[in-house]
Amino acid sequence: MPTPQDLFPETEISVRGAKRKFANFAELTDFWTHERNLFRPLLESSRARHINPSAQFLAQMLGRQNTVDAQISEVASLLQRYPSDIVDPQRHELQTRLKGLAGNIISALGAVFAEDAFGTWLSSEPAAQFILELAKTNRDEAAFALLYLHGTDFSDESFAAKSGAIKAHFFESNVTSLRGDAEAAAIKSITEMWQRESSKMVSEIEANRRAASELNEVHIKAIAEQGVDAKQRTADFQQFLAARLEENTTQLAASREELTKLAATYDQHMKLQAPVDYWRKKKERHLGERTNLKRWTISIGLISFAVLGAYVWFNFHEGKAGVVPWREIVGFFVLSSLAFWAVKILVRLLLSSIHLAEDAAEREVMAMTYMALVRGDGSTTKYMNESDRALVLGPLFRPSATGVIDDGAPPHVSEIITKIGR
C-alpha cells in the first residue's frame, strides 16, 4: 500500500536550457537543498546586503528562494498530517492537493533559476562554479562579483567591491592567467571601462550643473515677481482690514441699539406675561366648561323628551269619552315648562362660555401682538408712542361681559295658563 510520500507526482522542470526529472518529493527536496545552500550565505550575510541598490537586488533573489522554501514546507507539513496507511477517499484528496502544490513548486523554481536580472545559476554552470570558488576565500568579493555578472550597479568603493568586480570582469573575458599579454589586455580593458564610466559621470555632472543654473534663474525671476505680488497683496489686505473695521463698527452700533430695544422688549414682556397667562388659563377653563355644558344640554334635552313622552303615553293613552283630563294636562304643562327652563338655562350658560372663551382668546392674541410690535421694525428705531399704546391697551384691559342676559327664572303656572288663554 502506498504511503503519503509516494503520492507526490513525478515532476519535471526545464531551467536554463536543461530538463530535470524528480521521481518523488525526496529527490526534489534534495535538489533544492543542494542548490539553495550554495548561494544562501552570499544573499544573507555579505557586505553588499547593506548597500543600495545592491541590497535591493540581493533581497529580490532571496525572496524568490524564500517562496520555494515556503512551498516545500507546505507540502512537508501536509504529508505529516496523513497516516502512513492512507486509504480512499483521503488518498484521492491528498493526491489532488499534492498535484496542485507540485505545480506551485515548479513555478517557484522556474522563477529562481529564470534567465532574467534576478535569476540564479545552477551549481553546474561555470558562472556558479566561479562564484562558489571565490566565496571560499572571500565572501564579500564573491557577492560583488555576483552583482557585477548580473549587471547590477553598486556604489561601494571598498577593496572587496573593486576586487570582486575586476575578477568578475576577468571571468567574463575568459582570462584565466594574469601574466604577460593577458594581464595587459585585462588592465587595458578595465582602464577603458573606467574611462567610459568617468566620462559618463562628467557629462551627467555638467548636464546637472546646467539644469541647476537654469532652475536658479527661474527661481530668481519667480522671487522677484512674488515680491511685487506680495506688495500688492499687502496693500489689498490693508484695504480689506479698513473696510472690515468700518463694517464691524457699524454692526457694533446696530447691535448695541438692538440690545437696547431687546432689553425694553423684555421689560414689556415681563409686564404683560401675567395678563397673557391669565387670559390663556381663562380661555382653557371656558373651553372645558363649554364641552361639559354641551354634554349636559344634550343629555337634559334627551331625558326631558323621554320623560314627557312617557307621561303622555301613560296618561293620555286610554281616556274616557266626554271627560277632559285637566289634571293630566296641567301636569304635562308643568313638566314641560320645567324641562324647557332647564334647557334654556344650560343653553345660556353654553353661549356664555363660548363668548368668554372667544373673548379670552382675542385678548391673549392682542397681548402677544403688542409684545411683538413693541420692538418696532427694521425701518425705525422708535418704540410705540403713548397714543399707540392706549389704542392697544384699551381693548386689552376692558371689562369682560359674562354673556348671561338674565337669571332665567322658571315661568309661573299662571303665566302658562294666561298664555294658553291668549
pLDDT digit string (tens) for the chain, length 422 residues? 567 777 888 888 887 777 888 888 888 888 888 888 877 777 775 665 666 666 777 788 888 888 988 988 988 888 888 887 777 777 788 888 888 888 888 888 888 888 777 777 888 888 888 888 888 888 778 888 888 887 777 666 777 778 888 888 888 877 654 444 555 465 557 667 766 777 788 888 888 988 998 888 888 888 888 888 888 888 889 889 889 898 998 888 888 888 877 776 666 666 667 777 877 887 788 788 888 888 888 888 888 888 888 887 777 766 555 666 777 778 788 888 888 888 888 888 888 888 888 887 877 777 777 776 665 554 444 556 666 666 666 666 666 665 554 544 444 444 444 544 44
Cα–Cα distance measured from residue 265 to residue 349, given in angstroms and rounded to the nearest whole number:
39
Q: Is residue 394 part of a domain?
A: yes
Q: Is residue 390 part of a domain?
A: yes
412 and 289 housed in the same domain: yes
161 and 270 housed in the same domain: no
Closest CA to 16 of 120, 129, 86: 120
Q: Which of 118, 147, 172 lies at the terminal end of a domain, its last residue?
A: 172
pLDDT tens digits, one per residue of 26-63: 888 888 888 888 777 777 756 656 666 667 777 888 88
The secondary structure of residue 405, as a DSSP letter, is -
Q: Is residue 387 part of a domain?
A: yes
Q: Is residue 242 part of a domain?
A: no
Closest CA to 57 of 68, 67, 71, 46: 46
Cα–Cα distance measured from residue 235 to residue 243, given in angstroms and rounded to the nearest whole number:
12
Cα–Cα distance measured from residue 284 to residue 205, given in angstroms and rounded to the nearest whole number:
97
Closest CA to 121 of 137, 105, 136, 133: 133
158 and 16 housed in the same domain: yes
164, exposed or middle or buried, with CB in 10 Å at 0-12, 13-18, 19+? buried
Give me the domain span that covers residue 311: 264-421
Q: Which of 116, 142, 172 lies at the terminal end of a domain, its last residue?
A: 172
156 and 297 housed in the same domain: no
Q: Which of 139, 172, 205 lies at the terminal end of a domain, its last residue?
A: 172
Cα–Cα distance measured from residue 234 to residue 240, given in angstroms and rounded to the nearest whole number:
10
The secondary structure of residue 158, as a DSSP letter, is S
77, exposed or middle or buried, with CB in 10 Å at 0-12, 13-18, 19+? exposed
Q: Whole-structure pTM over 0.85, yes or no?
A: no
278 and 411 housed in the same domain: yes
153 and 280 housed in the same domain: no
Cell (9 digits) for 306: 323621554
272 and 158 housed in the same domain: no
Q: Is residue 252 part of a domain?
A: no
- Cell 409686564 belongs to residue: 271
Q: What is the pLDDT of residue 403?
A: 54
The domain tally of the chain equals: 2
Q: What is the pLDDT of residue 315?
A: 76
First CA to last CA across the chain, in angstroms?
A: 136
* DSSP-H helix ranges across 374-412: 386-396
289 and 149 housed in the same domain: no
Q: Which residues pair with 159 in a beta bridge?
A: none
Q: Is residue 410 part of a domain?
A: yes
148 and 297 housed in the same domain: no
126 and 268 housed in the same domain: no
Q: Is residue 213 part of a domain?
A: no
